[in-house]
Structure 1
Amino acid sequence: MTYIAREQWEEHYLDGKGFRRVGERERALLAERTPAPGGGRALEVGCGTGELTVYLASLGYRVDAVDFAGSALARAREEHADVAGVRWLRLDIERDDPAPLHEEGYDLVVMRLVYPFVRDRYRVLHGLGERLRERGALVVITPVAANTPAQRRGIALDEDEIAVLGRFFQIIGSLVWVCR
């Protein structure tokens, strides 16, 4: 597990940096496997500057996009001011009160490139699973250690971690993806 302090994330986004762009494969899988139902709601945890959030909105979801870095959200709001159906929320999914999240739940919860940075994974995943509507899906998109250069493996999951993640969500009946 890799821990990066909030201040470091704030500086990262203030310096104009971002994260890996959303790939065509990710877009295709999301469109194919998680089409937005009428009135569909999505939650993106760790939205950064909002590229995936905007894509989810284009699929027809109303999206709650959360990040704990205010600098990331400021950029997202500025860069995507014209995108309808998005609520940008500053929220630390591990520490803050989840009251600002939609009380009727979500059809889709996405954690893209966030999971390795979560300290209390079980509690966070359980809490997110509780917010899924019936037939809802939780999608984890993250690097896999076997396909990640040695110097970056701290942000990747190994096969044991992937198995644990899959078992956890089989129990609550949700869909879990790990993008390889």
Structure 2
Amino acid sequence: MPTRRYWDLYYLDPTPFTSLPVTGGELALLQEQVTPPDARAVVDISCGWGVLAAHLAHTGLQVSGYGWSGHAIVAARELVGSGLQLTFTERDFTHRSDPEAAPGSIDLAVAGSAAG
């Protein structure tokens, strides 16, 4: 399993992979087939550069993006900017769940960049 140091070095690359292939069709499929109709709160675990989280936030969802690498979180914040219902937080989910989330407060969890 890659270490936190591995991911920090990976996300230090000055040319981020911002063209993550999240197409309009894929986003529509996620919204139509996976996202509950009354969903409001989404968690993107292993959010990477924050591309999927930003797409979801643009649809009006409140999104929390979590990543293991502090460098990834900084890069995601810079790439996405502000003005959306979107936050990015450094968090290690390998040993515990989100201590801030009350039971039933998350409507959908995705792992957009879990493979790297």
TM-score above 0.5: yes
Structure 2: gaps spanning 5 or more residues: none
CA contact (8 A) 2:47 2:113 kept: no
Query: Which consecutive aligned stretches of 4+ in structure 1 deviate over 4 angstroms post-superposition?
Result: none
TM-score (normalizing by structure 1)? 0.55
Distance 1:84 1:19 in 2: 18
Show the counterpart of 1:98.
98
* Percent identity for Structure 1 against Structure 2: 26
In the alignment, is the contact (CA less than 8 A) between 1:44 and 1:64 conserved in 2? yes
Bigger radius of gyration: 1
1:68 matches 2:68: yes
Q: Tell me which of the two structures has the higher relative contact order, counting C-alpha pairs closer than 8 angstroms and 6 or more residues apart.
A: 2
Count of aligned positions? 112
| TM-score, structure 2 as length reference | 0.81
The 1:109/1:68 distance shift into structure 2, 3 A limit, reads same
Aligned to 1:4: 2
Q: 1:96, CA displacement in angstroms?
A: 4.9
Alignment RMSD (CA, Å): 2.3
In the superposition, relative to structure 1, how do residues 15 and 51 fare at CA in structure 2: closer, same or farther (>3 Å)?
same
2:57 and 2:85 in contact (8 A); partners too: yes
Question: What residue ranges of structure 1 are gaps of 5+ in the alignment?
Answer: 118-180
Amino acid corresponding to residue 9 of structure 2 in structure 1: E
Counterparts of 1:8 and 1:19, CA distance in 2: 19
1:85 maps to: 85
Equivalent AA in structure 1 for residue 22 of structure 2: G
